[in-house]
Amino acid sequence: MLLIKDDIVDLLTLEDATDLVLQLAKDDPISVIRGFQACNYDCDMKSMGTVGGSEDSFTTWSIKEDLALVNVVNDTCLRFNQKYQDIQPCEFLWEVCEMNAYDRSILEKKSEENIRSRICFLIALNNVVWSEIVPLIDFDSNQVLAKELSAIKKLFFTSWKMSLLDMIIDGTVQKNEDQLGVTVTVNPIDDLAKSNENLSSTWFFQSYQILCETNSSNFCTQMPHSDDPQFPILVKMVGEEVQGNSGSFRQFLARIIEEIHGTTLPLFMPYMCNGPFKGMYQVQPGPLNILTEKLFVYFGQLLGMAVRSGIPLPIGMMPHFWKVLVDGDHVITDSYLASYDPDLHQYLQEIQSLACQDSFATFLEQNQFPNFVWQSIAGEEVELIKGGRDILLDFNNRLDYVDSIKAFRRNELECKEKVNCILAGLYTILPMGYIRGVFTSKEFQTKVCGSSDIDLHLLKKHTMYQVGISQDDRHIQDFWAVLFSLTPEQLTTFIKFACNQERIPKPRDANCLPPPYPMKIAPADAREEAQDNLLIRAETCIFMVKIPRYSSYDIMREKILYSIQSAEDPLSG
């Protein structure tokens, strides 16, 4: 090694060089780290990874391994609220890396240096795709490049897809700030006395009647960038005088979700089988009439409005709904059918496993000699083929019988006509060509529904305190201590109490905080009264919680739990 100082060149031995680095590390450790990085090594003298380094092992990587690595980068971006460009490949360390067991089993034979170089390659690939290729593609056309890009969309990082979608949404605004919004007036007090057993009593149908003749350009607003942004529609609650539209619009969407999960709307139905989807919903199969066609289109517009408003909707639709919506036809696999209806899967497996006619004859007798008829999800008997009632199952046609039931169930789940109506509504509000071109079904579901997880550390970090209140005040510390002690369900309900929505969006990065962030904490209005006698109040339009100076943790917890109980009460303040 050569050491040049004051134009004098000295030849250093390995021992001299080591001593020099150790001395520099004591005086200026940052310069030593930068020196290692300049040579593409970390402090453990492991390669930090390069695109060139990935070429040496290019053929050893499979698509499955790449997808697992993309999941690792996506999870890291989400966990630390970072863009993928901010992720350094050298940060990958096996001993501290958090990934699910499936991805770990796929990548476990790869070395750290190999993985780092592959991350460099994937970052370079994504840089080229989003900055130079995607802007040139019309995903609504039949371009060959668009189809080829869509075929590998799982290799693209979620963070740039979401950022670019927000940019496109802001670039396709058709409603300006001076343009008056359409007002939807609803009466929450009158609706308390109604049974909600008829369609006309629902806010969904009432708002549809008001908005059905409105040009969709009125709903194409920009993404929210303030505490009280412009929303696609103005919601007026009879008997309530509030400033701003945020709280009312969020309450309106929350009520719509409740109605979707109810039994009055002829659009959706709960999952009824014995698989892992309890509590979820699906499009109700059956014929499509003029009214339901229009309602499905309106539902698609509501989804689009929620996305443009940055308000996550906990609609709980089943995975196949999003797959059909984003990926189109032929996306429901045999394995999904098996998980959807385990009892049916076991029945069909038994038919396929019977290899001799004698055992099959016993099966027919035990099952009362079935014919080519099957019960639909809605409970109706339907012929699997023309004249199926007159065709008995036998050993020779057993495989046709199995295939017919699978095809029938696939068609029921896909509900192509109805999903196409939802897509028609979405296309009027969102750039669905781009979304279907580069988003996976799970990513679009996340964009619409958000996450049920609430990051309290993030919320606490981005909370503002009004004058006279400090995060070091004892009652504020009690407040956060209580929130951290709540169950996920209780915390979700408290968030709804505070801002009128169950879910709050997660920031894409630390510099981009979407509404309703930040939460504001203010003192109680009645500051001169006995604080322990006061209730916690919320101004949902601006995500403000007014907290009295309670005298103890126990009282704080009691009052917060009371606010949680009152969150569902439309008469509560």
Residue 372: Cβ within 10 Å count: 21
* Alpha carbons within 13 A on the beta-carbon side of 405: 25
pLDDT at site 11: 66
Tokens of 515: 């509404």
At residue 323, the pLDDT reads 96
pLDDT at 41: 64
Beta carbons within 10 angstroms of residue 81's beta carbon: 19
Q: Tell me the residue length of the chain.
A: 573
User: Which regions of the chain are under pLDDT 50?
Assistant: 2-3, 8-9, 570-573
What string of DSSP letters covers 11-79? EPPHHHHHHHHHHHHHH-HHHHHHHHHHTTB-TTS-B---HHHHHHTGGG--HHHHHHHHHHHHHHHHH
- For the stretch 500-532, what's the b/e string if a residue is b when 16 or more beta carbons lie within 10 angstroms of its beta carbon? bbbbbbbbbeeeebbbbbebbbbbbeeeeeebe
Q: What is the mean pLDDT of the chain?
A: 87
- Which pLDDT belongs to residue 510? 61
Contact, 381 vs 249, CB < 8 A?
no
Do the beta carbons of residue 48 and residue 119 sit within 8 Å?
no
- The string of pLDDT tens digits covering residues 97-127 is 888 999 999 999 998 889 999 999 999 999 9
Strand partners, 11: 2
DSSP code at position 130: I
Buried b (16+ CB within 10 A) or exposed e, 178-209: eeebbebebebeebeeeeeeebebbbbbbbbe
- Nearest alpha carbon to residue 362 among 376, 350, 377: 350
pLDDT at 2: 47
Residue 463's pLDDT is 93
Q: Do residues 547 and 523 touch, judged by C-beta distance below 8 A?
A: yes
Neighbouring residues of 292: CB distance < 8 A, sequence distance ≥ 6: 266, 267, 418
Element (H, E) at 297: helix 290-309
Please name the residues in contact with 407: beta carbons below 8 A apart, sequence gap of 6 or more.
none
> d(Cα 78, Cα 84) in Å, to the nearest integer?
10
What residues pair up with 464 in beta bridges, in sequence order? 520
Residue 262 buriedness (CB in 10 A; 0-12 / 13-18 / 19+): middle
> Which pTM does this prediction carry?
0.87
- pLDDT for res 94: 86
Q: Who contacts 172 (Cβ-Cβ below 8 Å, separation ≥6)?
A: 220, 431
Span 289-338, pLDDT tens digits: 999 999 999 999 999 999 999 999 999 999 999 999 999 878 999 999 99
Residue 473's pLDDT is what? 94
Residues 195/111, Cβ–Cβ less than 8 Å: no
**Residue 178: what pLDDT?**
67
Q: DSSP letter for 273, please.
A: S
How many helices (H) does the chain have, and how many strands (E)?
24, 12
State the pLDDT at residue 571. 46
pLDDT at 192: 56
